Amino acid sequence: SAAQSAAVVFLGQMNLAEEQAGLVSFNSGATLNQTLTHSLTQLTNAVNNLTAGGGTAIHTGINTAQAELQGPRQDPSHSKAMILLTDGQSDAGQALAAANAAKQAGTVIFTIGLGGDADAALLRQIATSPDHYYYAPTPDDLEEIYLAIAGQVGCTQ
């Protein structure tokens, strides 16, 4: 899909010799699809194996990602960043609580609302700042957004 292709382009921008990335998907629950790794192959496979599911439990995705960012595979000398992509609505209270805990722990959160059903107001609040929120009308708009985020994170080769 265009969304998966855009994520793979983003991963290709990363200097994975020095940086790590992982992947968490969420619907009614969350799955750690790929632990933090330096392997572009493992990350690309994880992205390409994603399937769409029902539900938008944003808080489970944030909590699962944050646990990995603070877990034994993380490099304490690296800054922590999370990119949250969603096309739906979520429980605002739970999502904000999870986001605030992650931000207080030092994680920078970027949010991307995909399509008209995404809760833009909530995603702006979850993001570290308004500059960390993006709107993608269609999946075809994601590649440009991911490239902008790569520049902001400073993870480009």
- List, in order of start, the domains of the chain with CATH numbers: 2-153 (3.40.50.410)
* Residue range 51-87, pLDDT digits in tens: 887 888 999 999 999 999 999 999 988 899 999 999 9
> CA 27 to CA 7: how far, in whole Å?
18
The answer to whether residue 90 scores a pLDDT higher than 90 is no
pLDDT at residue 55, as a whole number: 82
- C-alpha distances (whole Å) from 21 to each of 11, 25, 42, 90, 133 are 8, 14, 10, 25, 20
Chain segment 97-156, per-residue pLDDT in tens: 999 999 999 999 999 999 999 999 999 999 999 999 999 999 999 999 999 999 888 766
Q: Are the beta carbons of 14 and 155 closer than 8 angstroms?
A: yes
Confidence bin at 157 (pLDDT 50/70/90)? low
pTM over 0.85: yes
Position 156 scores a pLDDT of 60
Tell me the pLDDT tens digit for each residue of 6-18. Answer: 999 999 999 999 9
